[in-house]
């Protein structure tokens, strides 16, 4: 059942076997997995089917130092469906090496291995409508060449690993009918958890306080509760419950909010190929079920070990800079539209300033667009159709090979650091009186070494194989010398703040995602990941949520 919680009278006590706090991929997957048991579930999604200004405000917080992270209300959707309402759909599992304790990556090592998650990864892929959980181009596309660039792969970098793309599935829409039809499940739209109430011993969660409007509180008494609110809000709920445990729940060892990770991303350098039209699988490929897949450059575990670096992948992307050297009509058109529309939004005076300041560059872009003539309009029409009018959306538009300009995007693991942290900001509260968050994200030498090593091995390989050349602009060189200076955006990858460990002095949750020291409180989401891999987090979030559903079903 899906109902409007605004109709629940304040003071009401609701009962259930399981209370799930959150309404995103983690919460919905968990509900889908658990509700088959026939036991009762109440799901508190933290919002309704649309984002509202007051929901956005609930996510505001502080970034310390200012500008070192995107504003906390960006990249997160406080609503039913959570961030799956806007996600891109890239599905990538963690690699076996991600679970290993690697002496050169401080804080690495999971208490479970990848094998234990194999079946759950397959189920997560299915729920995300991303096809079979086969991420190896050699078996998915046996008829085509195995490498992204023929002759490229060596002991350092291989290109058979695939990423798969979800539709992208909006979990709140895709599974609405199933949730609506389940008589043992109640989704309380518009309800927010405002407090986790422990019993006086501090070892059992007594109830969850919830409200749709400030002051109109009702409560949910459940045998077990799972918080699945994203890594930042999971931390906030635990830390803000200080009435019984003054340090917050699960925080006896000062670990809640620590080891905050994301990924290091960026574009650095570009390749020029000897022949971009030969032996080069550049575009998305569709598997037998019609799922978009793409090959990536992956630094092998052997190379990671040899060079003492973290896990990392790369792929070619469209040019993101405003520089016209790429000579690609589509990219130039996008840049022209963005610059002129952006300026126009700020008023005619600002627009004319922008045009005057960037006149030469804008004219060059216009020339590139006009030179491509009618073909650009055909390209635009094709892009609009495949991106917006098909059920399965083309993940992204790659510029034509004609420009022979292939910028290299990298995405690296972010090594966990005790000092990289999400805390409460006691100087400010939200509408429900909950303290807001403050984040202080940090990176270390292993992160920077990983970027430099990957770029350098990539350049070395593409040139020694004779496939092409690789070029670094002055800006790229400056970046590689001082990666810490580039501004950071998490791209919604918030990881590690309630890490999993066997013992309470090493992590916040145990191997079953139960908060150490608390009988009946669990955590779902990327906050439990001890390390971040290079992989986008959602597939693993869903896999772990499904595993948790099985654990809870076996518990009582």
Ligand X SMILES: Cc1cc2nc3c(=O)[nH]c(=O)nc-3n(C[C@H](O)[C@H](O)[C@H](O)COP(=O)(O)OP(=O)(O)OC[C@H]3O[C@@H](n4cnc5c(N)ncnc54)[C@H](O)[C@@H]3O)c2cc1C
Pick from 469, 461, 456: which is nearest to 406 by CA? Answer: 469
Give the nearer residue to ligand X in terms of CB position, either 457 or 518: 518
Tell me the per-residue interface mask from 71 to 100 with ligand X, x by CB under 6 A, - otherwise. ----xx-xx--xxx-xxxxx----------
Give the nearer residue to ligand X in terms of CB position, either 450 or 497: 497
Give the nearer residue to ligand X in terms of CB position, either 214 or 373: 214
Give the nearer residue to ligand X in terms of CB position, either 304 or 526: 526
Which among 138-146, 212-220, 466-474, 537-545 is the span making contact with ligand X, rule CB under 6 A? 537-545
Give the nearer residue to ligand X in terms of CB position, either 46 or 343: 46
Distance of closest approach, residue 86 Cβ to ligand X, in angstroms:
5
Instruction: Answer yes or no whether residue 291 interacts with ligand X by CB under 6 A.
Output: no
Tell me the per-residue interface mask from 231 to 270 with ligand X, x by CB under 6 A, - otherwise. --x-------------------------------------
Helix (H, G, I), strand (E, B), or coil: what is residue 314?
Answer: strand
Distance of closest approach, residue 493 Cβ to ligand X, in angstroms:
6
Strands laid side by side in the 285-286 sheet:
90-91, 162-165, 292-295, 285-286
Distance of closest approach, residue 259 Cβ to ligand X, in angstroms:
17
Respond yes or no on whether the N-terminal peptide bond of residue 52 is cis (omega within 30° of 0). no
Distance of closest approach, residue 238 Cβ to ligand X, in angstroms:
11
d(Cα 511, Cα 529) in Å, to the nearest integer?
Answer: 11
Give the nearer residue to ligand X in terms of CB position, either 170 or 447: 170
Ranges of H-type helices in 276-393: 301-307, 329-345, 348-357, 359-371, 374-388
Q: Which of residues 488-517 bind ligand X (CB under 6 A)?
A: 492
Count CB neighbours of 491 within 10 A. 14
Strands laid side by side in the 421-429 sheet:
62-63, 435-440, 421-429
Q: Which of residues 140-179 bind ligand X (CB under 6 A)?
A: none
Strands 217-227, 435-440: parallel, antiparallel or unpaired by DSSP?
Answer: unpaired
Distance of closest approach, residue 138 Cβ to ligand X, in angstroms:
23
* Residue positions counted in the chain: 556
Give the nearer residue to ligand X in terms of CB position, either 251 or 536: 536
Helix (H, G, I), strand (E, B), or coil: what is residue 2?
Answer: strand
Task: Output helix, strand, coil percentages for the chain, rounded to the nearest 5.
Answer: 35, 20, 45
Pick from 361, 371, 318: which is nearest to 340 by CA? Answer: 361
Residue listed under structure tokens 């309380």 = 188
Pick from 87, 78, 85, 24: which is nearest to 54 by CA? Answer: 78
Tell me the per-residue interface mask from 14 to 53 with ligand X, x by CB under 6 A, - otherwise. -------xxxxxxx----------------xxxx------
Distance of closest approach, residue 556 Cβ to ligand X, in angstroms:
23
Total site size for ligand X, rule CB under 6 A: 36
Which among 9-17, 246-254, 502-510, 530-538 is the span making contact with ligand X, rule CB under 6 A? 530-538
d(Cα 488, Cα 484) in Å, to the nearest integer?
Answer: 9
Give the nearer residue to ligand X in terms of CB position, either 31 or 335: 31
Pick from 261, 183, 216, 298: which is nearest to 5 by CA? Answer: 216
CA distances from 449 to 96, 140, 455, 484 (A): 21, 33, 10, 12
Distance of closest approach, residue 229 Cβ to ligand X, in angstroms:
4
Give the nearer residue to ligand X in terms of CB position, either 28 or 303: 28
Give the nearer residue to ligand X in terms of CB position, either 273 or 543: 543
Which among 149-157, 375-383, 451-459, 538-546 is the span making contact with ligand X, rule CB under 6 A? 538-546
Instruction: Answer yes or no whether residue 536 interacts with ligand X by CB under 6 A.
Output: yes
d(Cα 113, Cα 116) in Å, to the nearest integer?
Answer: 6
Give the nearer residue to ligand X in terms of CB position, either 280 or 298: 298
- 170 Cβ partners below 8 Å, 6+ apart? 81, 84, 85
Give the nearer residue to ligand X in terms of CB position, either 198 or 457: 198
Distance of closest approach, residue 80 Cβ to ligand X, in angstroms:
6
User: Please, what sign has the CA dihedral across residues 138, 141, 145, 147?
Assistant: negative
Distance of closest approach, residue 359 Cβ to ligand X, in angstroms:
33
Distance of closest approach, residue 525 Cβ to ligand X, in angstroms:
4
Distance of closest approach, residue 112 Cβ to ligand X, in angstroms:
18
Q: Which two tokens stand for residue 486?
A: 């580039």
Instruction: Answer yes or no whether residue 193 interacts with ligand X by CB under 6 A.
Output: yes
d(Cα 202, Cα 246) in Å, to the nearest integer?
Answer: 10
Distance of closest approach, residue 174 Cβ to ligand X, in angstroms:
13
Distance of closest approach, residue 434 Cβ to ligand X, in angstroms:
7
CA distances from 392 to 389, 432, 518 (A): 9, 39, 43
161 HSE (CA, 13 A, CB side): 19
Tell me the per-residue interface mask from 196 to 235 with ligand X, x by CB under 6 A, - otherwise. --------------------------------xxx--x--
List the one residue from 153, 219, 538, 544 that touches ligand X (CB under 6 A): 538
Distance of closest approach, residue 268 Cβ to ligand X, in angstroms:
21
- 320, 186 in Cβ contact below 8 A? no
32 HSE (CA, 13 A, CB side): 23
Footprint of ligand X on this chain (CB under 6 A)?
21-27, 44-47, 75-76, 78-79, 82-84, 86-90, 192-193, 228-230, 233, 492, 525, 536-539, 541
């Amino acid at each position: 059942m899906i109902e409007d919680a605004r109709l629940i009278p304040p003071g009401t006590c609701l009962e259930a076997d399981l209370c799930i706090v959150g309404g995103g991929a983690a919460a919905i997957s968990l509900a889908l997995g658990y509700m088959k048991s026939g036991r009762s579930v109440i799901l508190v999604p933290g919002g309704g089917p649309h984002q509202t200004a007051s929901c956005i405000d609930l996510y505001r917080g502080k970034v310390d130092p200012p500008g070192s992270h995107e504003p906390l209300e960006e990249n997160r959707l406080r609503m039913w469906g959570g961030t799956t309402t806007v996600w891109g759909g890239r599905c990538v599992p963690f690699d076996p090496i991600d679970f290993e304790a690697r002496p050169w990556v401080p804080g690495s090592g999971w208490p479970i291995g990848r094998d234990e998650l194999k079946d759950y990864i397959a189920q997560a892929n299915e729920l995300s409508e991303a096809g079979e959980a086969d991420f190896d181009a050699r078996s998915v596309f046996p008829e085509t060449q195995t490498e992204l660039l023929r002759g490229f792969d060596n002991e350092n970098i291989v290109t058979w690993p695939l990423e798969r793309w979800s539709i992208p599935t909006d979990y709140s829409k895709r599974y609405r009918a199933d949730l609506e039809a389940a008589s043992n499940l109640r989704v309380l739209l518009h309800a927010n958890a405002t407090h986790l109430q422990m019993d006086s011993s501090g070892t059992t969660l007594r109830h969850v306080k919830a409200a749709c409007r400030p002051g109109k509180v009702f409560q949910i008494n459940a045998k077990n509760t799972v918080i699945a609110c994203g890594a930042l809000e999971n931390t906030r709920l635990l830390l803000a419950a200080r009435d019984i445990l003054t340090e917050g729940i699960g925080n006896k060892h000062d670990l809640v909010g620590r080891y905050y990770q994301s990924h290091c991303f960026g574009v650095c350098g570009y390749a020029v190929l000897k022949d971009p039209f030969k032996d080069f699988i550049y575009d998305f490929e569709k598997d037998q079920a019609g799922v978009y897949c793409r090959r990536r450059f992956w630094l092998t575990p052997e190379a990671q070990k040899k060079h003492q670096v973290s896990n990392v992948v790369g792929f070619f992307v469209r040019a993101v800079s405003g520089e016209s050297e790429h000579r690609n009509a589509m990219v130039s058109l996008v840049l022209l539209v963005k610059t002129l529309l952006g300026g126009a939004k700020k008023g005619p005076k600002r627009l004319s300033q922008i045009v005057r300041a960037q006149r030469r560059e804008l004219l060059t872009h216009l020339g590139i667009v006009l030179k491509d003539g009618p073909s650009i309009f055909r390209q635009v029409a094709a892009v609009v159709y495949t991106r917006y009018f098909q059920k399965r959306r083309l993940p992204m538009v790659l510029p034509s090979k004609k420009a022979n300009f292939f910028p290299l995007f990298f995405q690296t693991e972010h090594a966990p650091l005790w000092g990289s942290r999400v805390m409460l900001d006691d100087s400010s509260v939200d509408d429900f009186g909950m303290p807001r968050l403050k984040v202080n994200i940090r990176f270390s030498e292993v992160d920077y070494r990983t970027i430099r090593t990957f770029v350098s091995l990539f350049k070395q390989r593409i040139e020694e194989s004779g496939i092409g050349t690789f070029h670094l602009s002055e800006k790229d060189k400056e970046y590689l010398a001082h990666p810490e200076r580039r501004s950071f955006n998490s791209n919604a990858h918030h990881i590690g703040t309630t890490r999993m460990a066997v013992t309470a002095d090493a992590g916040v949750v145990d191997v079953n995602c139960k908060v150490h020291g608390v009988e009946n409180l669990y955590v779902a989401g990327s906050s439990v990941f001890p390390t971040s891999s290079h992989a986008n987090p959602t597939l693993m979030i869903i896999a772990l949520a499904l595993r948790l559903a099985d654990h809870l079903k076996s518990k009582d």
